[in-house]
Amino acid sequence: MSDQPQHCTCYECAHTYGFLGAEPHPGICPACGSRAVSFSGQVELVDPEDVDGDERDEVADLGLVNVVHVWGRDATDRPLSWHVDLVGTCQQPTLRHVRIGDRRVLPRAECWSDDLVPDVVRDAVRERTGSELVVPKGKGSRDR
């Protein structure tokens, strides 16, 4: 019930814009038309069996064992996934990338936003691994 504009980021061209309105925003960048923008509305997790075959096969082809995948979609039905590696002897779940449609956003990307890892995803990772998800952030803009 807020009339504050929702702050949106495009993960394709790093354009940021405000969206004013109660509806879930349409999830398209006004600058470049990409759909790789901030999630819209509530993110829901998706059962792996309900995920489109192509992406699931792609993940299976990697043949990785120490990997956790969380699948989801947002209010505009964009397919989302979070790729988590189990790192080191402690098998620490560590975020590798977030996939929005066919676009991958790395935690170290310039346009990274914490909104990309909603609580439902952290909860799902904790449930499956017993550990807290680590997001290895390292924005390049303040490294001098």
| Positions in the binding site for Zn ion (CB under 5 A) | 10, 12-13, 15, 29, 31-32, 34
Query: Is 16 or 129 the residue whose CB approaches Zn ion more closely?
Result: 16
Closest CA to 101 of 23, 39, 14: 39
Minimum distance of Zn ion from residue 31's CB (angstroms): 4
Six token digits for residue 102: 């066919």
Rounded to a whole number of angstroms, the minimum distance from the CB of residue 30 to Zn ion is 8
- List 89's β-bridge partners, or say none: none
Q: Which is nearer to Zn ion, 15 or 103 (CB)?
A: 15
Q: How far is the CB of 33 from Zn ion (least distance, A)?
A: 7
Q: Collapsing DSSP states into helix, strand and coil, what is residue 59?
A: helix
- Nearer to Zn ion among residue 13 and residue 134 (C-beta): 13
For Zn ion, give the closer residue by CB, 51 or 111. 111
Least distance (Å) from Zn ion to the CB of residue 95?
22
108, two tokens: 């170290």
Burial of 63 (0-12, 13-18, 19+ CB in 10 A): exposed
Name the token pair of 64.
């990785």
